[in-house]
Amino acid sequence: MPFDPAVIRASFAVVERRADQLTRYFYAHLFTHNPGVQELFPARLAEQRDRLFAALTQLVLRLDDPERLAGYLAALGRDHRKFRAAPEHYPAVGASLIAALRHFSGHSWTTEIEKAWTEAYTVIAQAMIDAAAAVPEEAPRWWEAEVLRRRRAAPDVVVLTLAPDRPYPFTAGQYLTLSSDRRPQVWRPYSIACAPRVDGSLELHVRRVPDGQLSTALVNEVMPGERLRIGPPLGEAVLDPGSARPLLAVAGGTGWAQTKALLEQLASDGGRPATVFLAARDDADQYDLPAVHALVERHAWLHVLLAAPADRAPREEGIALLLEGLRDLGDCAGYDVHLSGPPGLAPAVARQLTVQGADPALIRHDPVPATLNRARPLTSSDWFLDRRDVPWINRTELG
């Protein structure tokens, strides 16, 4: 490694409390010195700034772990194909990053620090460029997908059926990223709510997030006949293809989408014993019960338990009710475990099931953010002290 990670970390500590100002400066510098680049970014840059600084933090945290750093950079490089990032964009980004770091470091900035950051960025950029170049040329950057059907499943949830313009090679349990011309350059991850189908269609369950740019458009505005863009499939929370162990799945809210895909795949593979705990905020939030009942009636190997607290109960009460039901299950040794749902569910359930004998190596779930706090910080201290949910596009390398 040509640069000293300790120098990078010490330098980053100087600017991290001024994250919002630094990222504003970065984008102003980038757009001023590189006309035309701004069209590659969403119109509202607040979340983009959050994501930039969070990515920088992830990189700094991984500097002493080359294997994790390489995996993270490879994922970023592949994912940036759909943003139309090209090798010629990387030097411009690097120049603006160094300019922002230099500006907000003040008198602490030195020739040694600039050299370390320049060398580090060179390694980072080349790794991302190489990862993108390693993707086969015929692999799409994205797919165009027509909205065939939309069903309002709850006041804040829609079920969308999409028809990609070419075969979409995914595995049940994976997720995709999606964008709409209604919110240009805004991409969000959604679990695929079905196993691969003969007709090639896909099902997505979308919940409207407060102040969510894309989710609001998908739930309130997008109609059949519109075309969306979907990125390549992502995620590793899929079934173990060689396993004959019984399945224990725990899903909350629209986490049911991923679980539904896994159950459809189990049925296609011939079935094996499966127990599903399906949690919701309240009874009205069990938004896909007809599909749940249909699966239970069709497959004798499937057992589903529903868990929902009283109306308007806090999320913590719902998780507590779910954990109580899981304790009644007893010994969980020998299960393949799949978890999906809102932040807080997977970590709490994984801890509980491990206590009950589940093998941690057999527990699968996609990485999740720490909180659902998306409030804009008011001061530099808020940035440093208040952990928030960054709207990640690709969470695969966050774990």
* Per-residue model confidence as pLDDT tens for the chain (399 residues): 577 889 999 999 999 888 888 999 999 999 999 988 988 888 777 777 877 887 888 888 888 888 888 888 888 888 888 888 899 999 999 999 999 999 999 999 999 999 999 999 999 999 999 999 999 988 899 999 999 999 999 999 999 999 999 999 999 999 999 999 999 888 889 999 999 999 999 999 999 988 888 999 999 999 999 999 999 998 889 999 889 999 999 999 999 999 999 999 999 999 999 999 998 877 778 899 999 999 999 999 999 998 887 666 666 677 778 888 899 889 999 999 999 988 778 888 999 999 999 999 999 998 765 444 445 454 544 544 454 444 444 444 443
Specify the CATH number of the domain 247-364.
3.40.50.80
| Strands laid side by side in the 336-340 sheet | 302-307, 274-279, 247-252, 336-340, 363-364
pTM confidence score = 0.81
Strand partners, 206: 158
Task: Give the Cα separation of 138 and 8 in Å (integer).
Answer: 38
Token readout for 63 is 């500097």
pLDDT of residue 46: 76
Report residue 334 as tokens: 């020998």
5-137+380-385 and 143-230 have identical folds:
no
CA atoms within 13 A on the CB side of 100: 26
Q: What number does CATH give the domain 5-137+380-385?
A: 1.10.490.10
Q: Which CATH architecture has domain 143-230?
A: Beta Barrel (2.40)
Distance CA 265, CA 263 (A): 5
Place of tokens 């119109």: 43
What pLDDT is recorded for position 369? Answer: 54
29 residue type, one letter: H
The structural domains of the chain, with segments of one domain joined by +, span 5-137+380-385, 143-230, 247-364
